[in-house]
C-alpha cells in the first residue's frame, strides 16, 4: 500500500496539472471503488475549478471553488496517469483505455487525469465546505511528520504511557499521520532504536522527550524527505536501508550486524539487532 512519500510524490505531479484548471468532464467507468461514489459525484465536480491539491496523511485532497473537497485514497493498487494535450498529439497511435481505468477527469487546460486501480481498494469521496476537519477520516488523525510543528516533544507526548512496541506505536495514525510499515522500519534504523522497545521509553514519566525521541523525530523527517525526493524526481524508490534486506550486512558504518526480519502485528519489521537498541 502506498505510504506518505508515494502519495506526496503523486500530489506533486497532480498539482501543476490540475491547479487552476476547470474540471470539464468526469467519466465514471463503474459505480464504485472500495465504496460507491457519492450521489451526484460527477455533477458536483464538473465545471468546478481546482483551487489546490493537498495531502493529509495518505489522502489526497483536491479543493474546489465550490467549497467541496475531493478526497482520494490510493488503496493498495491505485495510481494516476496524467496525459497533457501535447503528449497526446505526439503519440503516433491511439492507446485504448486500460480495463482498470475507472475514473477519468478531463480538464480545461487539455490535460486528462486517469485513476487506475486494479484491486479497486481506492476511495473517492466529496466533502462539503467546512466539513473536512470534522470528517471521520481526519478527526483522530495525528500530526503531519513533515509539518514544522512536528518535533520530539510532539512525538514523545503521543507515545507517553504506551506499553506497545515502538514500531507498533509508529503505525498508529493517531501518533504520526501517514507513516507506514516501510518508513517506520527505516526511521527506527536511522535513529538506532529497536522496533521492540516499549513506546513509552522515548518519553519521561511527565511525557517530555528523551534523547530517543529527538533522534527518532529527526530520523522520521529525514527518511520521508529523502524518499519523497527520490520518488518525485525519478519516479522510483531505490533500495531501502533495511526494509526487505533480511540476511544482508547492516549499512551502519562499523556495525557488524546482519539485518533480521520479525513479525509485529502481522507486518514484517526489518532491523539490526546490534546497532538498534
Q: What are the residue numbers of the active site?
A: 2-3, 58, 267
Query: Rounded to the nearest 10 degrees, what angle do helices 181-190 and 211-234 cross at?
Result: 130
Q: Which of 1, 2, 3 is nearest to 145 (CA)?
A: 3
- Asked whether 229 and 208 are in contact (CB, 8 A), the reply is no
Strand partners, 276: none
Radius of gyration in angstroms for the set of CA atoms belonging to the chain, rounded to a whole number? 21
- Asked whether 269 and 195 are in contact (CB, 8 A), the reply is yes
CA dist., res. 178 & res. 225, Å (int): 13
- Asked whether 124 and 75 are in contact (CB, 8 A), the reply is no
- Asked whether 190 and 219 are in contact (CB, 8 A), the reply is yes
Order of strands, sheet of 23-28, starting from the edge strand that comes earlier in the sequence:
23-28, 101-107, 112-116, 79-83
Query: Rounded to the nearest 10 degrees, what angle do helices 211-234 and 152-159 cross at?
Result: 110
Name residue, grid cell 514519566. Answer: 205
CA dist., res. 272 & res. 254, Å (int): 13
DSSP code at position 141: -
The H-or-E segment that residue 126 falls in is strand 123-127
Amino acid at each position: 500500500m502506498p505510504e506518505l512519500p508515494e502519495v506526496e510524490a503523486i500530489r506533486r505531479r497532480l498539482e501543476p496539472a490540475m491547479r487552476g484548471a476547470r474540471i470539464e468532464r468526469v467519466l465514471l467507468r463503474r459505480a464504485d471503488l472500495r465504496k460507491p461514489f457519492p450521489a451526484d459525484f460527477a455533477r458536483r465536480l464538473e465545471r468546478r475549478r481546482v483551487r489546490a491539491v493537498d495531502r493529509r496523511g495518505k489522502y489526497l485532497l483536491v479543493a474546489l471553488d465550490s467549497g467541496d473537497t475531493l478526497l482520494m485514497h490510493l488503496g493498495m493498487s491505485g495510481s494516476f496517469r496524467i496525459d497533457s494535450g501535447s503528449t497526446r498529439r505526439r503519440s503516433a497511435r491511439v492507446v485504448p483505455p486500460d480495463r482498470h481505468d475507472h475514473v477519468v477527469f478531463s480538464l480545461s487546460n487539455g490535460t486528462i487525469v486517469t485513476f487506475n486501480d486494479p484491486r479497486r481498494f481506492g476511495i473517492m469521496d466529496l466533502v462539503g465546505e467546512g466539513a473536512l476537519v470534522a470528517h471521520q477520516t481526519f478527526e483522530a488523525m495525528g500530526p503531519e511528520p513533515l509539518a514544522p510543528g512536528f518535533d520530539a516533544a510532539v512525538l514523545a507526548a503521543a507515545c507517553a504511557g504506551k506499553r506497545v512496541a515502538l514500531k507498533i506505536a509508529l503505525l498508529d495514525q493517531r501518533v504520526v499521520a501517514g507513516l507506514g510499515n516501510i518508513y517506520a522500519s527505516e526511521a527506527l534504523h536511522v535513529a538506532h532504536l529497536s522496533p521492540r522497545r516499549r513506546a513509552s521509553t522515548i518519553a519521561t514519566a511527565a511525557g517530555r522527550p528523551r534523547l530517543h525521541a529527538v533522534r527518532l523525530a529527526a530520523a522520521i523527517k529525514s527518511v520521508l524527505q529523502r524518499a519523497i525526493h527520490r520518488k518525485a524526481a525519478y519516479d522510483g524508490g531505490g533500495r531501502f536501508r533495511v526494509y526487505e534486506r533480511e540476511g544482508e550486512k547492516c549499512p551502519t558504518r562499523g556495525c557488524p550486524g546482519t539485518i533480521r526480519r520479525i513479525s509485529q502485528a502481522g507486518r514484517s519489521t526489518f532491523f539490526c539487532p546490534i546497532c538498534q537498541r
